[in-house]
Chains A and B, each alone.
Chain A
């Protein structure tokens, strides 16, 4: 398959894929737990952008009926993905909040949010494992 033909005109989708991979990389590779939360946020942001990019129409306007555009569906942007992503953003904010609260608890208990140090301290406390 010709890569250029696949990508041309789909640059925004390619961009969301790159963002998605950056997010995954952050979660998998970074040792600092705070950076894992950043990775998670980038990952979620990429998916939100995916929905929004799909809903975008060139030359269309906000989905409020007006006299100029009439009832032509091609003149309006699809509002459903935007509505869905509003909910997804709220979910993502809530998740970040819980994650930060947990990080504070971890930092207060163990004095570190670096995964390597944390694992060492966990092992010291629990010689069984």
Chain B
């Protein structure tokens, strides 16, 4: 069907984004307005590539690409299963939506940094898609750092305080990456290999080695920092609050979710289900820390006055669900965790796009200032409401289904405090979102003469609405995704019965 072998589809994504980023900067140097079409075109091709990849995998099984013809485990290989391909499709789709939004938003907010912003955005996506596609532990480190470096640059674009928050994240993020590097150093010393499948094959003979728990702790801490898993989330609220709205809209939904996905892959496909749940308490530590994080950060979200800051804390809480699901490691919890990675990407992106539209268009930032906006910006807040309802977890939005699986998972695990946490956190989420929705729709608007009333222009409105609709569609299609994509891609020990 394609003019090149299907196994080249994964590497094509990396190449497209790499050359797209260089071309964006070059085009932007010629003329500032040339940069944006290059980015949009690149991302549309990447989206097509990712969809072709997903279809090829659903038809013919996982794709493997060996770089430079050096066969694994000596060479570096890209390995993509249906789940990885689906994550790449979601990354590409969300970034297309954000790119459409970005043109007007960046020009209004940071016009001088437009070209740099767009180039860095593609570099960030290059790193993140690479983290999903690669089958090599050191290659993962390189992509981790590529995405982090682009992330620091992007987060520094924003208001006066953005560089301070970005610097703090740089110190923490690089320490995290170094921990990960030290962790794979331990694994390399133990096994003599860096290929994920090869390490997974060699590790069972080393289960009694005292260096192995250290390696796992270092790797989990390293990836957990980028995921902003509680209590490693300290960098995140400041970074999200002070960054420009488009930066937050691309980094918040994608970066932490991709890292969570990578954590899942490392724990279950490299270290193995047995090792992280039965032989070592990695899973339970992760689950209980995440549970504590869900409660604490949901409470913090309630206390915030700035809407973006509230959303940032709620991000940490939502990533806590993913950590909880990964930690419990039973089929239901894990299904919920993966589902939540994808669902949260769509809803959080929608919420941050709305927060950006309101900040730029209506010049409002705090919860109090949002009063009465529902009538002034009806379409924007229709999408916001959909996404907020999904965050709380009401049917038929996608948030309901991931929380449902998580709740089943906690019940199956028999730890009733965790069941209470999942239930209570939905209530806490409802508190801060319904409080906001109430003032948006019922309170009288405060007049701001300098801010025009009404929805923003189509370029910013359409991506917001598209994501709001996606929240519903993903909710209605979740059974197809769970049975067709998710279950076949999980290790047999953590698959739902009957699939």
Contact = CB atoms under 8 A, between A and B. Distances in A.
Interface of A: 24, 27, 33, 36-37, 40, 43-44, 47, 50-51, 54, 80-81, 84, 87-88, 91, 94-95, 98-99, 102-103, 105-106, 109-110, 118, 122, 125-126, 128
Given A91-B145, A128-B306, A43 B170 contact: no
Contact of A50 (B145, B164, B174, B185): B185
Interface stretch (B85-93, B148-156, B347-355, B394-402): B148-156
27 contacts: A33-B167, A37-B171, A40-B174, A47-B178, A47-B181, A50-B182, A51-B188, A54-B185, A54-B189, A81-B188, A87-B138, A91-B142, A94-B145, A94-B149, A95-B174, A98-B152, A98-B170, A99-B171, A102-B163, A102-B166, A102-B167, A105-B163, A118-B164, A122-B164, A125-B161, A128-B305, A128-B306
B142 A87 contact: yes
A106 B177 CA distance: 24
Interface string B161-195: 10110110011001101100110010011000010
Interface in B219-256: none
A94 B306 CA distance: 34
Nearest to B174: A95
Nearest to A91: B145
A75 B164 CA distance: 50
A109 B175 contact: no
Contacts of B306: 128
Contact of B175 (A27, A87, A91, A98): A27
B185 A47 contact: yes
Contacts of A109: 160, 163
A37 B171 CA distance: 7
A98 B164 contact: no
A105 B156 CA distance: 9
Contact of A44 (B178, B188, B305): B178
Contacts of A125: 160-161
A127 to B, nearest CB: 11
Chain B: interface size category? 20 to 34
A1 to B, nearest CB: 11
Nearest to B144: A91
A40 B156 contact: no
Please indicate which of the listed interface residues B141, B164, B177, B181 has the most CB atoms of chain A within 10 Å of its own CB.
B164
- Please provide the 3 A-B residue pairs with the shortest distance between their CB atoms, ordered closest to farther: A105-B163, A102-B167, A91-B145
Contacts of A51: 185, 188
Nearest to B170: A99
Nearest to B138: A84
Contacts of A105: 156, 163
Given A98-B170, A122-B161, A125-B160, A43 B175 contact: yes
Contact of B152 (A36, A44, A102, A122): A102
B171 A36 contact: yes
A84 B142 CA distance: 10
A8 B170 CA distance: 37
Given A36-B171, A98-B153, 11 more contacts: A27-B175, A44-B178, A51-B188, A80-B194, A99-B170, A102-B166, A102-B170, A103-B167, A106-B163, A109-B163, A110-B164
A59 to B, nearest CB: 20
Contacts of A54: 185, 188-189
A98 B166 CA distance: 10
A48 B178 CA distance: 10
Contacts of A103: 167
Please indicate which of the listed interface residues B138, B177, B178, B305 has the most CB atoms of chain A within 10 Å of its own CB.
B178
B152 A40 contact: no
Interface in B390-429: none
B145 A95 contact: yes
Contacts of B171: 27, 36-37, 40, 99
A81 B182 CA distance: 12
Nearest to B145: A91
Contacts of B142: 87, 91
Contacts of B175: 24, 27, 40, 43
Contacts of A24: 175
A90 to B, nearest CB: 9
Contacts of A95: 145, 149, 170, 174
A88 B170 contact: no
Please indicate which of the listed interface residues B153, B167, B177, B181 has the most CB atoms of chain A within 10 Å of its own CB.
B167
Nearest to A118: B164
Contacts of A80: 194
Nearest to A122: B161
Contacts of A27: 171, 175
Given A40-B175, A125-B160, A128-B305, A88 B167 contact: no
Contacts of B141: 88
Nearest to B169: A102
A27 B152 CA distance: 18
A128 B303 CA distance: 12
A30 to B, nearest CB: 11
A110 B167 CA distance: 14
B184 to A, nearest CB: 9
